[in-house]
C-alpha cells in the first residue's frame, strides 16, 4: 500500500483557484484548511458545467515500496475564495490524470481545473523520469512502472479520503473512480482500466487522450469487464497516429464514445487555450458526469459539445471514424 508522506497525511500548502473557464486565467490565492467533520453525506453531489464550483488545491507525495515517489497535486471543489474543501456536497467522484512523456502536469492545469470546477476531485501525479524538470532526467522506458504507480496513487487518495485529519477526508467517493491521461499517460490509463497486465477494478470510467495500447506492458486489452470509455484523437497527430485510437475504439465494448479533433496535432488540444481545448474540456466533463457521476444528462450534452463545425466530430458508432493504421509500440 502506498503511503502519503509530509505531515503524516498530506503536505501543507492549500491554494484556491477560480471556477474553471478554459480561456480566462485562473486566479490563485491562499486559503485555510477547513475543519474535518466526523461524518459526511453520502448523497451524490450536483455536478455541472465547468465553473460550477470554486477550486482549491493541495499537494502530497505518494511513496511506494522500492523508493518510488510521486509528488501529486490534487484539485477539489472548494467553498468560496477563502474557504477550504466543500464537504457539504461531498463525497465527489475521483479523476486521476496521467501526464504525457516529457510534459509537466502544470501544462495541463487548465483542463484539470475545469474538471474540478465541475464537481470532481482531480489528482495529477508527477511520474518518475517523466517530467522535464526531473533531476535524473527523462527516460521513456520508465513507463513500464507507471501502471503500478497509478494504482498506488488511487490507493493513497482513497485512503486519505476515508481517513481523518487529511484535507481530503470525506471528499473522495471510493465507488466512483475514473482515470484519464494524454499520450504516454493515456497508455498508462488504458492499461489500468482494461489491460490484463495492470487492471484495477476500482476504475469505473476512462478517457484516453491521444493514447495507445502498449506491448511493453504485456498481456492484452478488453478481455474483462466493460469500462465506459472516451477516446479523443487529433486527425493530424503524427506522434500518436490516428491508427492508435482506431485500435482502441474499435476493440472497446459499449458504452464507448469517440471525439475526433479535426486537423489537431498531438499536444496542443490539451495544453493550448482555444476552441479545441474548450471542446475537449466540455466533452470530457460531460463524459465523466454521465459515466462516472451517474448524471445521465451528460450523454446528450457530450454529443452536443462534441459536434463543433470545423473543430470536432463525435461518435458512438461500433467502428470509429479514424482509419485503421499502424500504431508504433502497440501489440500485434
Determine the pLDDT at residue 17: 55
Residue environment code for 61-74, b if the CB has 16+ CB neighbours within 10 A, otherwise e = bbbbeeebebbbbb
H helix intervals, the chain: 109-117, 146-162, 184-194, 242-251, 268-271, 275-291, 297-305
Q: Give residue-wise pLDDT tens across range 296-328.
A: 999 999 999 999 999 999 999 999 999 889 999
Query: Percent of the chain scored above 70 by pLDDT?
Result: 84
Residue 53: burial class (beta carbons within 10 Å; 0-12, 13-18, 19+): buried
Is the distance from CB of 323 to CB of 242 less than 8 angstroms?
A: yes
Which helix (H) or strand (E) segment holds residue 55: the answer is strand 55-63
Fold of 3-32+46-315: Rossmann fold (3.40.50)
**H-helix segments, 60-131:** 109-117
Domain residues of the chain, as ranges? 3-32+46-315
- Torsion, Cα of 312, 277, 119, 9 (10° steps): 140
**How many CA atoms lie less than 13 Å away from 181 in the CB half-sphere?**
30
- Could you read off the pLDDT of 14-34 as tens digits, one per residue? 554 555 544 322 222 222 233
- pLDDT cut 90: percent of the chain above it: 79
Query: HEC string of 116-184?
Result: HHCCCEEEEECCCCCCCCCCCCCCHHHHHHHHHHHHHHHHHHHHHHHCCCCCCCCCEEEEEEEEEEECH
Distance of CA 101 to the CA centre of its chain: 15
pLDDT in tens, 39-95: 233 334 455 566 789 999 999 999 998 899 999 999 999 998 766 999 999 999 999
Helix (H, G, I), strand (E, B) or coil at 287: helix
Q: How confident is the model at residue 35 (pLDDT cuts 50, 70, 90)?
A: very low
Residue 131 near residue 104, CB atoms below 8 Å: yes
Q: How far apart are CA 179 and CA 279, in angstroms?
A: 19
Q: Map grid coordinates 471510493 to a residue.
A: 174
What's the pLDDT tens digit per position in 119-158?
A: 999 999 999 999 999 999 999 999 999 999 999 999 999 9
- Between CA 159 and CA 156 the distance in angstroms is 5
Q: Residue for cell digits 481517513?
A: 163
Amino acid at each position: 500500500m502506498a503511503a502519503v508522506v509530509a505531515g503524516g497525511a498530506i503536505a501543507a500548502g492549500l491554494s484556491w483557484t477560480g471556477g474553471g473557464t478554459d480561456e480566462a486565467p485562473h486566479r490563485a490565492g491562499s486559503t485555510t484548511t477547513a475543519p474535518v467533520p466526523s461524518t459526511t453525506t453520502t448523497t451524490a453531489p450536483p455536478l455541472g458545467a465547468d465553473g460550477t464550483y470554486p477550486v482549491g488545491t493541495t499537494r502530497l507525495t505518494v511513496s511506494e515500496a522500492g523508493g518510488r515517489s510521486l509528488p501529486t497535486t490534487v484539485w477539489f471543489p472548494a467553498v468560496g475564495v477563502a474557504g477550504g474543501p466543500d464537504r457539504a456536497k461531498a463525497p465527489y467522484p475521483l479523476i486521476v490524470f496521467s501526464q504525457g512523456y516529457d510534459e509537466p502536469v502544470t501544462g495541463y492545469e487548465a483542463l484539470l481545473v475545469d474538471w474540478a470546477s465541475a464537481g470532481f476531485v482531480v489528482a495529477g501525479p508527477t511520474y518518475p523520469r517523466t517530467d522535464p524538470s526531473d533531476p535524473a532526467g527523462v527516460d521513456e522506458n520508465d513507463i513500464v512502472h507507471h501502471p503500478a504507480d497509478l494504482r498506488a496513487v488511487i490507493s493513497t487518495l482513497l485512503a486519505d479520503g476515508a481517513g481523518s485529519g487529511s484535507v481530503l477526508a470525506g471528499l473522495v467517493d471510493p465507488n466512483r473512480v475514473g482515470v484519464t491521461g494524454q499520450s504516454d499517460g493515456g497508455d498508462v490509463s488504458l492499461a489500468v482500466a482494461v489491460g490484463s497486465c495492470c487492471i484495477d477494478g476500482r476504475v469505473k470510467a476512462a478517457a484516453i487522450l491521444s493514447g495507445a495500447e502498449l506491448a511493453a506492458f504485456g498481456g492484452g486489452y478488453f478481455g474483462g469487464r466493460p469500462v465506459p470509455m472516451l477516446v479523443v484523437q487529433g486527425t493530424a497527430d503524427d506522434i500518436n497516429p490516428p491508427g492508435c485510437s482506431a485500435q482502441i475504439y474499435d476493440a472497446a465494448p459499449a458504452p464507448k464514445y469517440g471525439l475526433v479533433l479535426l486537423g489537431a496535432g498531438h499536444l496542443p488540444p490539451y495544453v493550448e487555450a482555444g476552441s479545441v481545448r474548450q471542446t475537449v474540456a466540455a466533452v470530457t466533463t460531460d463524459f465523466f458526469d454521465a459515466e462516472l457521476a451517474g448524471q445521465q444528462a451528460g450523454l446528450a450534452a457530450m454529443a452536443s459539445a462534441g459536434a463543433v463545425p470545423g473543430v470536432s466530430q463525435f461518435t458512438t458508432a461500433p467502428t470509429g471514424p479514424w482509419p485503421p493504421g499502424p500504431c508504433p509500440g502497440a501489440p500485434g
